Protein backbone atom coordinates (compact mmCIF):
# COMPACT_ATOMS: atom_id res chain seq x y z
CA UNK A 1 0.00 0.00 0.00
CA UNK A 2 1.41 3.39 -0.92
CA UNK A 3 2.06 6.16 1.55
CA UNK A 4 -0.49 9.02 1.40
CA UNK A 5 1.37 12.33 1.57
CA UNK A 6 0.79 15.85 0.33
CA UNK A 7 2.76 18.99 -0.24
CA UNK A 8 1.19 22.44 -0.44
CA UNK A 9 1.79 25.63 -2.42
CA UNK A 10 0.40 28.90 -1.05
CA UNK A 11 -0.81 30.64 -4.20
CA UNK A 12 -1.36 33.94 -2.40
CA UNK A 13 2.22 34.32 -1.12
CA UNK A 14 3.83 32.03 -3.75
CA UNK A 15 5.65 29.91 -1.16
CA UNK A 16 5.73 26.29 -0.04
CA UNK A 17 4.06 25.35 3.21
CA UNK A 18 4.88 22.60 5.64
CA UNK A 19 2.41 20.34 7.41
CA UNK A 20 1.70 21.39 11.00
CA UNK A 21 -0.26 19.22 13.43
CA UNK A 22 -1.37 20.18 16.95
CA UNK A 23 -4.04 18.33 18.96
CA UNK A 24 -5.60 16.59 15.94
CA UNK A 25 -5.74 19.87 13.98
CA UNK A 26 -3.88 19.72 10.68
CA UNK A 27 -2.84 22.98 9.06
CA UNK A 28 -0.24 24.25 6.62
CA UNK A 29 2.42 26.62 7.87
CA UNK A 30 4.01 29.17 5.55
CA UNK A 31 7.32 29.69 7.35
CA UNK A 32 8.45 32.61 5.17
CA UNK A 33 5.36 34.68 6.00
CA UNK A 34 4.47 33.10 9.38
CA UNK A 35 0.97 32.24 8.16
CA UNK A 36 -1.13 29.23 9.14
CA UNK A 37 -3.60 27.92 6.57
CA UNK A 38 -6.31 25.29 7.01
CA UNK A 39 -5.67 21.99 5.26
CA UNK A 40 -8.24 22.85 2.55
CA UNK A 41 -7.75 26.64 2.59
CA UNK A 42 -8.69 28.34 -0.69
CA UNK A 43 -5.16 29.74 -1.00
CA UNK A 44 -3.57 26.29 -0.87
CA UNK A 45 -2.89 24.06 -3.87
CA UNK A 46 -2.45 20.48 -2.70
CA UNK A 47 -0.27 18.02 -4.58
CA UNK A 48 -0.34 14.35 -3.69
CA UNK A 49 2.62 11.98 -3.61
CA UNK A 50 2.35 9.38 -6.39
CA UNK A 51 4.00 6.64 -4.36
CA UNK A 52 6.90 6.54 -6.83
CA UNK A 53 10.50 7.75 -6.70
CA UNK A 54 12.84 8.79 -9.50
CA UNK A 55 16.26 7.25 -10.23
CA UNK A 56 17.80 9.34 -7.42
CA UNK A 57 15.23 8.27 -4.82
CA UNK A 58 13.37 11.62 -4.92
CA UNK A 59 9.62 11.38 -4.32
CA UNK A 60 7.43 12.21 -7.32
CA UNK A 61 4.42 14.48 -6.67
CA UNK A 62 1.68 15.97 -8.81
CA UNK A 63 3.06 19.06 -10.53
CA UNK A 64 6.60 17.70 -10.75
CA UNK A 65 8.47 18.00 -14.01
CA UNK A 66 10.47 14.94 -14.94
CA UNK A 67 12.96 14.08 -17.65
CA UNK A 68 12.95 10.54 -19.02
CA UNK A 69 16.12 9.55 -20.78
CA UNK A 70 16.90 6.54 -22.94
CA UNK A 71 19.24 5.53 -25.73
CA UNK A 72 17.71 5.47 -29.20
CA UNK A 73 18.15 1.88 -30.44
CA UNK A 74 18.42 3.04 -34.07
CA UNK A 75 21.31 5.50 -33.76
CA UNK A 76 22.61 5.16 -30.18
CA UNK A 77 21.88 8.81 -29.34
CA UNK A 78 20.64 9.85 -25.90
CA UNK A 79 17.00 11.01 -26.03
CA UNK A 80 15.47 13.12 -23.24
CA UNK A 81 11.72 13.61 -23.03
CA UNK A 82 10.12 16.04 -20.57
CA UNK A 83 6.83 15.37 -18.77
CA UNK A 84 4.65 16.95 -16.09
CA UNK A 85 2.92 14.73 -13.53
CA UNK A 86 -0.89 15.14 -13.45
CA UNK A 87 -3.90 13.34 -12.04
CA UNK A 88 -6.08 12.38 -15.00
CA UNK A 89 -9.07 10.02 -15.30
CA UNK A 90 -8.43 8.30 -11.98
CA UNK A 91 -4.69 7.80 -12.31
CA UNK A 92 -1.40 9.65 -12.27
CA UNK A 93 -0.08 10.36 -15.71
CA UNK A 94 3.16 11.75 -17.10
CA UNK A 95 1.92 14.27 -19.68
CA UNK A 96 4.36 15.06 -22.47
CA UNK A 97 5.15 18.78 -22.42
CA UNK A 98 5.11 19.28 -26.17
CA UNK A 99 1.82 19.21 -28.04
CA UNK A 100 1.87 15.47 -28.77
CA UNK A 101 -0.81 13.78 -26.64
CA UNK A 102 0.12 10.31 -27.92
CA UNK A 103 3.44 10.70 -26.07
CA UNK A 104 1.69 10.81 -22.67
CA UNK A 105 2.62 7.96 -20.34
CA UNK A 106 0.83 6.30 -17.48
CA UNK A 107 2.92 6.16 -14.36
CA UNK A 108 3.85 2.52 -14.87
CA UNK A 109 6.77 3.53 -17.07
CA UNK A 110 10.16 2.54 -15.69
CA UNK A 111 11.39 5.15 -13.26
CA UNK A 112 15.01 4.02 -13.24
CA UNK A 113 15.42 6.35 -16.24
CA UNK A 114 13.49 9.36 -14.89
CA UNK A 115 14.65 12.33 -12.87
CA UNK A 116 12.62 15.03 -11.12
CA UNK A 117 14.11 18.29 -12.40
CA UNK A 118 11.65 20.74 -10.86
CA UNK A 119 7.97 21.56 -10.46
CA UNK A 120 5.41 23.87 -12.01
CA UNK A 121 5.70 26.51 -9.27
CA UNK A 122 9.46 26.80 -8.71
CA UNK A 123 10.48 26.12 -12.32
CA UNK A 124 7.76 27.22 -14.77
CA UNK A 125 10.45 27.93 -17.37
CA UNK A 126 10.96 24.15 -17.70
CA UNK A 127 7.52 23.90 -19.27
CA UNK A 128 8.84 25.90 -22.24
CA UNK A 129 12.04 23.90 -22.74
CA UNK A 130 12.56 22.09 -25.99
CA UNK A 131 13.35 18.44 -25.44
CA UNK A 132 13.05 15.19 -27.38
For 102, phi then psi, to 5°, come to: -70, -10
- The reply to whether 103 falls in a domain is yes
Rg of the chain over Cα atoms, rounded to whole angstroms, equals 17
- The reply to whether 60 falls in a domain is yes
Q: Are 93 and 104 in contact (CB under 8 A)?
A: yes
- The reply to whether 132 falls in a domain is no
- The reply to whether 43 falls in a domain is yes
Per-residue pLDDT tens for 36-64?
A: 999 889 999 999 998 889 999 999 999 99
What pLDDT score does 59 carry? 93
- The reply to whether 17 falls in a domain is yes
Q: How many domains does the structure of the chain reveal?
A: 1
CATH of the domain at 87: 2.30.30.290
* pTM, to two decimals: 0.83
- The reply to whether 118 falls in a domain is yes
Per-residue pLDDT tens for 86-115?
A: 988 888 888 888 766 666 666 555 667 789
What pLDDT score does 129 carry? 55
DSSP 90: T
- The reply to whether 83 falls in a domain is yes
Euclidean distance between the first and the last CA atom of the chain, given in angstroms as a whole number: 34
What residue numbers bound the domain in which 74 lies?
A: 6-127
5-13: average pLDDT:
94
Amino acid sequence: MREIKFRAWDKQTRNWCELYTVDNAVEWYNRKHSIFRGFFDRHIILMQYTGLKDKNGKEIYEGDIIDKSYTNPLNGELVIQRYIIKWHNGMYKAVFIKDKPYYDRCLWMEYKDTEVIGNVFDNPELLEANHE
